[in-house]
Chain A
Amino acid sequence: MGLFRYSWRTFLREMLLLALAALWWLPFYILTTTSVKPSSEGFTSPFQLPGHPDLGIYAQAWQGSGNGSLGQALESSLIITIGSVMALIALGSSAAYVVARRGGRPGNVVYLLFVLGIILPYQLGIVPLYAAFRRLGLVGNYAGMVLLYTGLLMPLTVFLYTGFVRALPRDYEEAAQVDGAGHGRIFFRVVFPLLRPVTGTVAILTGLIIWNDFFLPLVFLSGTAYITLPVAVYSFVGEYGAQWNLIFAAVAISILPVLGFFLLAQRQLIRSFGGGIKG
């Protein structure tokens, strides 16, 4: 107790930190208040609390713009994100396991190719990619988007997994080998569960990238019923240019699932980022 005395300086420091934290909350404040004000009020007094909060705006936003309802967009976003992340984890972890354990020159070359894939900007190849996808009938549907994201984010995924596998002691795999397990059992029962921390990292990182991505769904999904949330929200801007309350309500709706996920999974997330494996 004696170690820490609460003084004026401590108090000031705390206030300063609270003020800083509040600064971070400001956008959320504006977002939520504006989304329940009449649209004129949003311009005249952006910082004021709404006089008569109107949740009906949310209902209207949910109905969506001409391009389909927000509910449909939410569904698309969920399907594409979850599908891609699952494919990334399944393929990325097994690919990285082979790359890391195969070692030698072939392993290193493959690894290098993946690293190169992180560095090169995919936008350069977008036109031929679009043409190819179009011919294969992969434009304007879920399968195409999942394939697209799985491919584009595979380098990052393999990179993260490989680093982790390389640091993982081989003992467990050797023990499993001697215990009579085949390659499949070793990977699925022993290695993959030990990769949990990095699997968490991969899921969050790629999940956020895909969830928030605007460009690819705009190119590959516009004009279809499968547009994702960011595109759907953007179409509000075109249609209701002056109605910021509607737009903000749509933004709030699109943030909500991510926020909920973070709140629910907070503890696991922190553990997966911070934790190694403890024998």
Chain B
Amino acid sequence: MASVTFARVDKIYPDGTRAVSGLDLEVSDGELMVFVGPSGCGKTTVLRMVAGLEEITSGELRIGGQVVNKVEPRQRDVAMVFQNYALYPHMSVFDNIAFPLAARRLPKREIRERVTRTAALLGLEEHLKRRPRNLSGGQRQRVAMGRAIVRQPQVFLMDEPLSNLDAKLRVQMRVEISRLQKQLGVTTIYVTHDQVEAMTMGDRIALLRNGVLQQLGTPQELYNRPANLFAATFLGSPAMNLFQATIRKGGDGLAVDIGSQCIPLPSIAVNGHLSEYVGRRIAVGVRPEHMIEPSAVRAGHPRIRGEVVMVETLGSERLVHLRVAAEPVVTDDLLEVARDVDVATVEALRDEVREGAMVAVARFDADAAVSAGGPQEAAIRPDKIHFFDLETGMAIR
């Protein structure tokens, strides 16, 4: 077991691509750290540097306190689960799992014993004689896991290990990997671009964008206190609602103008630096679950008006899509996150800008009386409003 430390690590590929910049963080002993971020943000590169498959351009990488920049992959004692598993196609499941042990020249008897034990742990006993190509996706995934855990390495590296599985299997394996990791207590770096995986599996999350660390913390910290617009939009589904607004003095405190609506801010919503922004445009963010039906709260809550364009009934709740006359927030960060979802999302964002109105999502009770087409107010939980500087994208705290 060991910790993994990145000290100002840079990676520039030979063709000049800057994949990782100034990465500075420590994965503690026994921790499961999730690296998450949109496609191309450098997650795989980080993992490959830890494995030793990619040279480190500058900075220092330490495993268990030892600098490993120049250490060969096979001497690093890390195990990696590849995105496509990279199971040796010409070997049986048994030989695949046994390979790392055979490479260490363990005695045959011990190899047999350990492979059998690992196979039992993963429910692979019946498949030991089969070839990888004759296995289902989930079984292959397990074999890849088996090959990683059989040698009890210092560090596990997993590159989107679940992305090739269907949704149901993904949920199941998610739980299984978490359980296994806790049981074995091996330091793990887990890469994914699925925010749900990141939230549910990670002890901590490192959020990357363009090779730069955006925020590091527990899933709750990232969710409750996003450090910037990018973190705010990347985590959470449906995503945080972001309105452009002007901050101004109003009554005995501050208020925000969202479109034509002036919403006074209770003192609990206001924090230290917000008053410095009086008169300027900022981004106001509210998560759907903090926009609730007005009848559920006291009168003092700030409210926002809109027109209901759609109601999604999910059984336990209703997602109310409110068209609010306000400018949406469109920054490079947001476009990038949108692009990662799909092209249609980017288009929708552009449409909203053109029309000067945006659709916000509110989470109402399942029995709330709302119907599409009518006007509707939503109450906002004042302690859950986020403010961001529009220019830097940083949270205003």
Which residues of A pack against B, CB within 8 Å?
169, 171-172, 174-182, 185, 189-190, 193-194, 196, 277-279
Contacts and interface: CB of A to CB of B under 8 A. Distances in A.
A263 B392 CA distance: 74
A193 B103 CA distance: 17
Given A177-B53, A178-B73, A178-B79, A279 B132 contact: yes
Contacts of B88: 172, 175-176, 190
Contacts, number: 67
B280 interface: no
Interface in B52-76: 52-53, 72-74, 76
B53 A278 contact: no
A179 B79 contact: yes
A178 B89 contact: no
B206 interface: no
B74 A174 contact: no
Contact of A177 (B73, B77, B151): B73
A178 B80 contact: yes
Contact of B86 (A175, A182, A189, A277): A175
Given A179-B147, A180-B151, A181-B103, 8 more contacts: A174-B82, A175-B88, A178-B51, A185-B103, A194-B89, A194-B90, A279-B89, A279-B132
Given A179-B99, A180-B103, A278-B133, A171 B89 contact: no
A175 to B, nearest CB: 4
Given A178-B51, A181-B103, A278 B84 contact: no
B81 to A, nearest CB: 9
Contacts of A172: 86, 88-89
A175 B80 contact: yes
Given A190-B88, A193-B90, A279-B87, A180 B104 contact: yes
Interface in B107-135: 132-133
A184 B72 CA distance: 15
B207 interface: no
27 contacts: A171-B82, A172-B88, A174-B51, A174-B73, A174-B86, A175-B147, A176-B99, A177-B52, A177-B72, A178-B53, A178-B74, A178-B78, A178-B79, A178-B80, A179-B74, A179-B79, A180-B100, A180-B151, A181-B74, A181-B99, A181-B103, A185-B103, A194-B89, A196-B90, A277-B89, A278-B89, A279-B89
Contacts of A176: 88, 99, 103
A40 to B, nearest CB: 58
B100 A171 contact: no
Q: Identify the interface centre among A177, A178, A193: most chain B CB within 10 Å of its CB.
A: A178
Contacts of A193: 90
Nearest to A192: B90
A171 B86 contact: yes
Contacts of B52: 177-178
A169 to B, nearest CB: 8
Contacts of B90: 193-194, 196
Contacts of A182: 74, 103
A174 to B, nearest CB: 5
B87 A174 contact: no
Nearest to A173: B86
Contacts of A278: 89, 133
Contacts of B53: 174, 177-178
Contacts of A179: 74, 79, 99-100, 103, 147, 151
Given A178-B78, A178-B79, A279 B133 contact: yes
Nearest to B14: A104
Contacts of A185: 103
B132 to A, nearest CB: 6
A175 B82 contact: yes
